[in-house]
């Protein structure tokens, strides 16, 4: 997925202090040249692949993200009734399960950000609030970008986020990130200062990582940001976006089909996984502060 050009461009960008969490908009690199996959090419297994109306709508919402790359201004989406209905259905089902399994921090954060089961939240509102709380921000993106490019943006305390929503025929499923995955899964956790700093460390690492290290970072991201579990008062709770945004994944994570192991960095970064399968092993961090410090130590060895 990574190109030689991307590596060469990133190799020069090693001059950043690990403790500089103060990123301003002026520090951001230009979004204009961001590489991305051809968004017209929906995989055949995408439930909306043979629905021309869905494809046109997805393409339109994606074009708003493209506009952002030219103007730097987020255009919010006027979601239609069908899209709002998909959100209400999925968000309501998940909310029930979150009360049982989500980390208490996440539950509070969702409320703080005004993410409700009633309507699809807008990136402008969430980005403004994130900036106030942890100086993180959101940038709309119209499709998948490669691992290094995606993770590198975290270095500038920026999360790339899609705005379109999954196809109505399978509301519980999406083969690609969508607004449900971003807003219910990812965005609330960025209001946690330790989680935000940890994410930024992953971004710093991605900018200078070797190809082998970028694979390791991808696994660290997978088993934390996407599928992470955290200890809470003798219990285990979910904070990973892939769990919190999927009813099936969240039920599975707390079933006896999953081995929940203590988080050991060395093990996590070497743990190969299959993207499309339910995960048989998940890792439990003791706290977000611990995750941040372990990651700081790990990426401080990069580039030396």
Stretch that binds Fe ion, among 15-23, 88-96, 211-219, 234-242 (CB under 5 A): 234-242
Closer to Fe ion at the Cβ: 115 or 241? 241
Beta-bridged to residue 138, according to DSSP, are 159
One character per residue 4-43, x = contact with Fe ion (rule: CB under 5 A): ----------------------------------------
Stretch that binds Fe ion, among 118-126, 200-208, 235-243, 252-260 (CB under 5 A): 235-243
| Choice among 186, 199, 204, 216 that is catalytic | 186
Q: Please, which of residues 145-204 interact with Fe ion by CB under 5 A?
A: none
> Catalytic site residue 287?
no
Closest distance of CB 227 from Fe ion, Å: 10
Tell me the two tokens of residue 220.
């660290």
| Choice among 101, 181, 199, 216 that is catalytic | 181
| Choice among 83, 142, 216, 226 that is catalytic | 226
Residue 241 binds Fe ion, judged by CB under 5 A:
yes
What is the sign, positive or negative, of the torsion defined by CA atoms of 271, 276, 277, 283?
A: positive
> Catalytic site residue 70?
no
SS3 sequence of 65-92: HHHHHHHCCCCCCCCCHHHHHHHHHHHH
> Catalytic site residue 181?
yes
From the list 288, 188, 189, 285, the residue with the least C-alpha distance to 236 is: 285
> Catalytic site residue 226?
yes
102 — phi, psi (to 5°)?
-80, 155
Q: What is the DSSP track for 144-157?
A: ---HHHHHHGGGGT
Closer to Fe ion at the Cβ: 241 or 291? 241
From the list 150, 269, 152, the residue with the least C-alpha distance to 206 is: 152
Beta-bridged to residue 158, according to DSSP, are 137
Closest distance of CB 52 from Fe ion, Å: 27
Q: Which residues are catalytic?
A: 181, 186, 226, 245
Residues lying near Fe ion in the complex (CB under 5 A) are found at: 241
């Amino acid at each position: 997925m990574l190109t030689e050009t991307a590596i060469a461009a990133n190799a020069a960008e090693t001059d950043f202090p690990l403790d500089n969490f103060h990123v301003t908009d002026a520090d951001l690199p230009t979004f204009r040249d961001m590489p991305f996959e051809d968004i017209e090419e929906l995989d055949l297994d995408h439930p909306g692949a043979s629905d021309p109306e869905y494809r046109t709508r997805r393409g339109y919402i994606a074009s708003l993200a493209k506009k952002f790359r030219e103007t730097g201004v987020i255009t919010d989406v006027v979601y239609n009734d069908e899209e709002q209905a998909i959100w209400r259905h999925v968000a309501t089902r998940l909310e029930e399960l979150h009360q049982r399994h989500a980390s208490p921090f996440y539950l509070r954060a969702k409320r703080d950000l005004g993410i409700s089961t009633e309507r699809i939240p807008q990136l402008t509102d969430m980005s403004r609030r994130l900036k106030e709380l942890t100086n993180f921000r959101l940038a709309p993106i119209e499709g998948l970008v490669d691992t290094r490019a995606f993770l590198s943006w975290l270095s500038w305390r920026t999360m790339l986020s899609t705005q379109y929503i999954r196809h109505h025929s399978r509301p519980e499923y999406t083969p690609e990130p969508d607004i449900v995955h971003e807003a219910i899964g990812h965005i609330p956790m960025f209001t946690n200062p330790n989680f935000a700093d940890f994410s930024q460390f992953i971004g710093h690492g991605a900018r200078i990582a070797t190809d082998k290290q970028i694979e390791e970072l991808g696994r660290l991201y997978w088993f934390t940001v996407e599928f992470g579990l955290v200890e809470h008062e003798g219990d285990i709770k979910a904070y990973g976006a892939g769990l919190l945004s999927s009813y099936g994944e969240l039920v599975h994570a707390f079933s006896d089909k999953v081995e929940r192991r203590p988080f050991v960095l060395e093990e996590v970064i070497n743990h190969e996984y299959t993207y499309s399968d339910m995960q048989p092993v998940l890792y439990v961090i003791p706290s977000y502060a611990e995750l941040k410090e372990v990651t700081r130590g790990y990426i401080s060895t990069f580039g030396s």
